[in-house]
Amino acid sequence: IIKCWSFPFAQNKYFTVLLIKVSVSVLKKYKDVEGVVKMEEVNGEELVKRFAEEMEEMLGRKMKSVKVSIHSFEYYNSMLINTVDENGNPLPLGGEFLLEPNEHFNKLPVNTQQSNIQVPTNVYNRDPDILNGVYMSEALNDVFIENFQKDPTLTWQYFGSSTGFFRLYPGIQWIPDENGVSTFDCRNRNWYIQAATSPKDVVIVVDVSGSMKGLRLTIAKHTINTILDTLGENDFVNIIAYSDYVRYVEPCFKGTLVQADLDNREHFKLLIDGIHVKGEGKVKNAMKESFRILNEVCQGSLCNQAIMLITDGAMEDFQDVFEEFNWPERRVRVFTYLIGREMTFAENVKWIACNNKGYYTHISTLADVQENVMEYLHVLSRPMVINHDHDIIWTEAYMDSVLFNTQAQSLLLMTSVAMPVFSKKKETLSHGILLGVVGTDVALKELMRLAPRYKLGVHGYAFLITNNGYILSHPDLRPLYKEGKKLKPKPNYNSVDLSEAEWEDTEEKLRTAMVKGDTGTLSLDVRTSVDKGRRVLFLKNDYFYTVINETPFSLGIVLTRGYGQYIFIGNVSVEDGLHDLLAPDLTIASEWTYCETDIDPAHRKLSQRQAVVQYLTGKEPDLKCDVQLLEQTLFDAVVTAPMEAYWTALMLNTSGIDEGIETAFLGTRSGLMRFQRYTGIEKRVAKSFLTSTDKENMFTLDHFPVWYRRAAEYPAGQFLYYMPRQDIRGTVEEIPLLSKHTHSQNTLFPLFPAMFSRLRIWWSFSKLCDITLSYNSFLCLLSCQDVECYVIDNNGFVLISRQRNNVSSHTYTHRNRDTLDGKLFTCQSQTKCHTYNSHRLIHIPNLESWPLSFSLSASAHKKKGDILQPCDTEYPSFVYEPSVKETNSIIKCGRCQKMFVVQQIPESNLLMLVVQADCDCSRQHAPITMEPKECDRMRSQKIRRRPESCHAYHPQENADDCGGASFISLSASIFFMCLTFSALFS
């Protein structure tokens, strides 16, 4: 059976002749231009430095726009614009506000001539402080417009006021939630909090005595969650609960502080939700434990230190605790929150805050929580304000799904740059009054365009990380999961460590060097996955890395040995190149930047190919284009031009084309693609591959197509057959196959196919069976009822089987000396866990455990005890050793054993597999779930680089304003003068 079935593949003369003709025609054209071709080695160290300088320049423009905005300060409420009452009259603070869809702002309707104001629902929009602040900040509108004219790559610019209003440019219609409420408060956002305060170490102390039952406990929990929301990845935190005794809400964190990243904050919230009250409240021991943590901490922000005391009263004598641990320096600030309507012990609670440079607030209802918690930020900002330090901060990556109620915006990863705005009047200097924070967003997608794919090669890529080692941008970052038809961010999407994507860096040499801000290079042998994690490639990668100055970010690029080491440069005339570039069978990568179309609004509607043509024909000479990429694209267009004529000839001669061929195409390193769909084939066949819905098979910002990447690593002169999983759904009739044609072995040409000569042919399932099961092999197969026969690829996926539902599933074949272990890991999986545990899933391979799938994500319904949690997953993959032509062995399955035979199908990546059918191995093993030592994982603190700036103390600070009394406020005239005459560059 092996012999009679594999024979048709080896003797498929028509298929072979077709590809040889294609190869010869392209080779001939290449020979015509060989004299103008040169090969250059890629200098990774020089490349990463140049990319970093370009990113530094781009990010510098964003910082400059923020600095300009603070020099100077018709109220349109963004929730009320363009709305009318029942009589058709504009609502107060509304009015007509022109909105037009704008490509630069993700097609959202915006007004680029006017900013407008958003006020949270819980803040009175006619409060005098709001009205005065809005009026005085109106001058910012002209500054925003001027910034956008100078730097058209700017996105959203904004000013967040300490009073709660938010000025946003360009102006938009603000969409409330389903209850008609706007819960967005700019003072909660990470950019505001990081700009307003220096990094902080915080111990939250919550009273869980019997008197804290009912509404008081509910308010206390909400207060803790609100405090946690004000912390970021440069902050550290722990939570202690006390009654008759002191306990940590997370025993794993006993006696230490943990990084307040999103993962840990959400973990704390889950634990807080389950606390109960009992016993008598004794605050003294809890305060001692809190000071012990802060005094002994060796890993933390080592900047601001604070204790947050949440209680309904303090009765015992506690003064000696502060005398012992905090006086006279008062290095640790203590903020107190009195919970409940009763104020019996208010003086005691206030005394604690006022004698430890903190702030006291009384929270009697849930509605009071937000405003009262925010007061501590103003206190922590005092030293910075008194110092007149305009520290610029950059946030971690985030998806602003709150700000804009559209899927396009919510799925866009970005970072923000922000800077504080404060009063400089001498009479209020010691009070350190923060007016607000000004900032702008930077889409990381736009930043990564500065490291173009064509310069990095087929497997190369660029990535960015923060000073904490968290990923800003990486092609293997998977921040989303699917819930129903919607994509949603994973709970820990912006606290994914570099070690979870570059997991081959087992000693964390790469991570450590980049976190420290070093410049250097490193080589690693890696196993990388393609085809959505289903297949593995073994590569030798060279990593080059450097810091981006004036930011907390580091840039890395990866070049792969082989194709990634060199770049192929050819030069043809613009006239010849343009002629071939306009061919109907040709497209270029839509996500790549051949020409910058975002600078001039008039260019934003141009596709990349249209922009290239306009530039090369001289119609748009002001377009900024990548000259080297255009040269490569024109060269590739000329050299691959014979393909169009050959394919057209086949179209005209219907007798010369085999009916099994549906679509043929090729791709080049410059992002160029040529494709031909043959007559008689429905349009949906080509669309299922050639549209952006299938990102794996397209040139994108993150990767070359999967068929391109696989073919680049396949031996010369052999065919590569490939079946994408997404094309096998239910009763789909077409099965696409990928093949790579042979190429010459002269000294120069072996590198040329990295740029093109990837030919894909779509075959119908029935036609493929006709070819492979000819020569009576089908009768041969039917006559052997005691065996099962499959055609599988070199990764163990079934292409042909007697059972149709087996196609595209995986056969985990018995491991022996003829196979290569391709074990893979993923650290960004998710599962529903009943406890906060990280599960390592190990799938034991067996012969017929297919269809076998492993869930890398799950539905994210946040229910108590049944929520989406991150987990590490280990799973095997199969790679056949091509030097072995045939092998056989025996597998023991319980009480029986079965023999199998595997033979290579010549000149292909396919294998013929025959196994005995009378012994079932499919139920012998089940996946094993192993739980690691949870505390070890949670307590691990990786190397990080602390921010350089720290403002924790100033001798001139006036700490008398500690809450519970009238609060000093700025008059409108002082507010105006502070913003207008702020001497930033003194």
DSSP label of 642: H
Where along the chain do the CATH 3.30.450 domains lie?
A: 444-569
Assign 3-class secondary structure to 695-759.
Answer: HHHCCCCCCCCHHHHHHHCCCCCCECCCCCHHHCCCCCCEEEEEEECCCCCCCCHHHHHHCCCEE
3-class state of residue 414 by DSSP: strand
Question: In this structure, are residues 735 and 728 in contact, taking their beta carbons and an 8 Å threshold?
Answer: yes
Question: In this structure, are residues 873 and 825 in contact, taking their beta carbons and an 8 Å threshold?
Answer: yes
CA distances from 66 to 61, 159, 553, 924 (A): 9, 10, 18, 63
* Separation between Cα atoms, residue 705 and residue 690, nearest integer Å: 11
Question: In this structure, are residues 193 and 230 in contact, taking their beta carbons and an 8 Å threshold?
Answer: yes
Backbone angles phi, psi at 179, to 5 degrees: -95, 5
DSSP label of 484: T
Backbone angles phi, psi at 914, to 5 degrees: -125, 130
Where along the chain do the CATH 3.40.50.410 domains lie?
A: 197-378
| Token pair 């691959």: residue | 640
CA-based nearest residue to 407, from 316, 488, 509 = 488
pLDDT tens for each residue of 100-138:
998 888 788 999 999 999 998 888 888 888 888 888 788
Backbone angles phi, psi at 935, to 5 degrees: -60, -35
Two tokens, residue 610? 């249209």
Give me the residues of the chain with pLDDT under 50, please: 4, 7, 11, 14, 71-74, 402, 404-410, 681-687, 726-766, 771-783, 812-821, 832-865, 924-931, 966-986
| Token pair 């949690």: residue | 869
Q: Please state, as a whole number, how many other Cβ atoms lie within 10 Å of the Cβ of residue 948.
A: 8
- One DSSP character per residue, 336-375 reads EEEESS--TTHHHHHHHHHTTT--EEEE-SGGGHHHHHHH
DSSP label of 654: G
* Separation between Cα atoms, residue 756 and residue 520, nearest integer Å: 32
DSSP label of 42: -
pLDDT tens for each residue of 633-647:
999 999 888 887 777
Q: Which CATH number fits domain 444-569: 3.30.450, 1.20.1260, 1.10.3470, 2.40.30?
A: 3.30.450
* Separation between Cα atoms, residue 533 and residue 943, nearest integer Å: 29
Question: In this structure, are residues 17 and 783 in contact, taking their beta carbons and an 8 Å threshold?
Answer: no
- One DSSP character per residue, 582-595 reads T-TTEEE-TTS-SE
Contacts of 952 (CB under 8 A, 6+ apart): 198, 303, 304, 305, 383
CA-based nearest residue to 553, from 13, 58, 43, 905 = 58
Burial of 731: CB neighbours in 10 Å, binned 0-12, 13-18, 19+? exposed
| Token pair 């399932």: residue | 765
Q: Which helix (H) or strand (E) holds 564?
A: none
Please name the residue ranges forming H helices in 368-451: 369-380, 382-387, 407-410, 444-448
* Separation between Cα atoms, residue 342 and residue 332, nearest integer Å: 28
pLDDT of residue 823: 57
Q: Please state, as a whole number, how many other Cβ atoms lie within 10 Å of the Cβ of residue 757.
A: 24
3-class state of residue 671 by DSSP: coil
Looking at domain 197-378, its CATH class is alpha beta
* CA-based max dimension of the chain: 100
* Separation between Cα atoms, residue 553 and residue 474, nearest integer Å: 13
DSSP label of 843: P
Contacts of 957 (CB under 8 A, 6+ apart): 357, 382, 383, 386, 430, 432
pLDDT of residue 286: 95
Two tokens, residue 965? 């009394």
* Separation between Cα atoms, residue 558 and residue 510, nearest integer Å: 12
Q: Interhelix angle for 627-639 vs 13-32, to 10°?
A: 130
Question: In this structure, are residues 42 and 455 in contact, taking their beta carbons and an 8 Å threshold?
Answer: yes
Residue type, 10: A
Please name the residue ranges forming H helices in 599-641: 608-616, 627-639
Residue type, 273: D
Q: Is the preceding peptide bond at 328 cis, omega within 30 degrees of 0?
A: yes
Beta partners for 184?
none
Q: Interhelix angle for 140-150 vs 44-69, to 10°?
A: 160
